[in-house]
């Protein structure tokens, strides 16, 4: 029997961006500019159950780096996470009887909240690793990975401190990207760069140590709240169209999409416009970020990338890349590999 591979995640829980948005606001980037980029109001983003396509995460972090001029803005934003983000998952992390139990909850629910990654727990004789495994339809930008790593390290350390354990459970951090001096400072632990995975290494003794009295009733209540969040976070037309585009960009067709949704084209266009988008805009944005991912991976020839994105000829793809990336696809790939 052939193995069934799960569909990649294609949405994230919008309120998880709020600490990063607070960091942008603190740096003088206007609320209006942030809302225009996300095409949603901050009020909408603060609304429980709001989920958005991963495309919006890519747009946000590209915008954050460009507007701040700081490629490491994810590190600063991650430091805000523990103090400003409260959701069922962070509550559950805090009340879990041990760090092991807390991380098991993260392994179960993190992909729903983040979208780009799932958390994998690896237990070895000499340590425990929390590995971030890419599981999203679009790749995670480096700034977001920094944001997650700093946030998780802070959550882990807070749990130990709240339990009166004056030892650091974080033994080290692995980065898939290149390391800079600021990573070591922000993460407050040894950092190894250009690894196969982003990961956090934890003290195996502290990992299993009982930290708080068991409270099964409270755990059950919080798990129920998380399940309700999953159940009530219904997809919008924007999410449904994003899922459709990600499945096969090359054959994407507006009429076909409307037929599968059993909705009139005019009605669907009006509803999509109310969410800030048109079909052609969304198609163009998905092509752009998929082009970045495919060119960076280097697994496909340029003609194959063009075909995967739905371009009938390489010339059309070249023109699109110049518009998106400021250079031809071959040059972009060469720059990325050199960098």
Q: What is the pLDDT of residues 198-212, one digit of tens each?
A: 999 999 999 999 998
pLDDT at 7: 67
Burial code (b: 16+ CB inside 10 Å, e: under 16) for 165-187 equals eeebbbbebbbbbebbeebeebb
101 shares its domain with 225: yes
168 shares its domain with 308: no
217 shares its domain with 260: no
pLDDT at 252: 94
| C-alpha dihedral (261, 4, 117, 302), degrees to nearest 10 | -80
- Among residues 231, 246, 276, which one ends one of the domains? 231
5 within a domain of the structure (yes/no): no
pLDDT at 310 exceeding the cut of 70: yes
pLDDT at 263 exceeding the cut of 60: yes
pLDDT at 339 exceeding the cut of 80: no
Read off the pLDDT band of 177 (50, 70, 90).
confident
Read off the pLDDT band of 5 (50, 70, 90).
very low
49 within a domain of the structure (yes/no): yes
Kindly state the average pLDDT of the residues 306-310. 93
2 within a domain of the structure (yes/no): no
Sign of the CA dihedral running 307, 309, 311, 316: negative
3 within a domain of the structure (yes/no): no
215 shares its domain with 306: no
Read off the pLDDT band of 240 (50, 70, 90).
very high
Read off the pLDDT band of 160 (50, 70, 90).
very high
- Among residues 192, 210, 231, which one ends one of the domains? 231
Share of the chain above pLDDT 90, in %: 73
171 shares its domain with 262: no
**What's the pLDDT tens digit per position in 14-41?**
989 999 999 999 999 999 999 999 999 9
166 shares its domain with 297: no
327 shares its domain with 179: no
pLDDT at 6 exceeding the cut of 60: no
218 shares its domain with 91: yes
4 within a domain of the structure (yes/no): no
224 shares its domain with 272: no
Whole-number average pLDDT of the chain: 91
CATH number at residue 161: 3.90.1520.10
pLDDT at 233: 79
pLDDT at 84 exceeding the cut of 70: no
pTM: 0.92
pLDDT at 2: 35
213 shares its domain with 317: no
78 within a domain of the structure (yes/no): yes
pLDDT at 83 exceeding the cut of 80: no
pLDDT at 105: 92
242 shares its domain with 226: no
- Among residues 208, 231, 254, which one ends one of the domains? 231
Residue with tokens 């004056």: 166
DSSP letter for each residue of 39-77: TS-HHHHHSTT-EEEHHHHHHHHHHHHHHHT-TTHHHHH
* Domain encompassing residue 72: 11-231
pLDDT at 229 exceeding the cut of 90: no
Domain count, the chain: 2
Q: Is the pLDDT higher at 226 or at 140?
A: 140
Residue with tokens 């709020």: 18
pLDDT at 189 exceeding the cut of 90: yes
CATH number at residue 298: 1.10.10.60
116 within a domain of the structure (yes/no): yes
88 within a domain of the structure (yes/no): yes
77 shares its domain with 181: yes
pLDDT at 181: 83
């Amino acid at each position: 029997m052939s193995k069934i591979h799960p569909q990649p995640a294609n949405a994230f829980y919008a309120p998880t961006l709020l600490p990063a948005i607070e960091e942008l606001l603190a740096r003088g980037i206007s609320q209006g500019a942030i809302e225009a980029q996300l095409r949603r109001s901050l009020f909408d983003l603060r609304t429980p159950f709001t989920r958005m396509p991963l495309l919006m995460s890519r747009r946000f972090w590209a915008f954050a780096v460009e507007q701040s001029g700081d490629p490491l803005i994810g590190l600063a934003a991650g430091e805000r996470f523990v103090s400003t983000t409260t959701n069922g998952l962070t509550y559950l992390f805090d009340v879990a009887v041990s760090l092991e139990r807390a991380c098991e909850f993260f392994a179960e629910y993190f992909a729903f909240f983040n979208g780009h990654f799932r958390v994998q727990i690896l237990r070895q004789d000499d340590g425990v690793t929390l590995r971030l495994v890419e599981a999203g339809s679009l790749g995670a930008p480096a700034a977001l990975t920094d944001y997650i790593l700093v946030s998780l390290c802070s959550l882990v350390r807070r749990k130990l401190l709240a339990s009166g354990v004056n030892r650091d459970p974080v033994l080290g951090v692995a980065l898939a990207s290149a390391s800079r001096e600021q990573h070591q400072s922000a993460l407050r632990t040894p950092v190894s760069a250009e690894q196969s995975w982003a990961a956090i290494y934890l003290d195996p003794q502290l990992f299993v140590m009982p930290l708080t009295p068991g409270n099964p009733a409270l755990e059950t209540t919080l798990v129920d709240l998380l399940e309700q969040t999953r159940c009530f976070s219904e997809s919008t037309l924007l999410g449904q169209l994003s899922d459709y585009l990600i499945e096969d960009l090359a054959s994407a067709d507006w009429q076909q999409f409307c037929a599968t949704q059993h909705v009139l084209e005019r009605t669907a266009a009006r509803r999509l416009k109310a969410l800030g988008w048109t079909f052609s805009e969304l198609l163009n944005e998905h092509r752009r970020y998929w082009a970045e991912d495919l060119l960076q991976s280097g697994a496909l020839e340029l003609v194959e990338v063009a075909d995967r994105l739905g371009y009938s000829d390489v010339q059309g793809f070249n023109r699109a890349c110049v518009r998106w990336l400021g250079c031809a696809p071959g040059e972009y790939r060469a720059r990325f590999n050199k960098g």
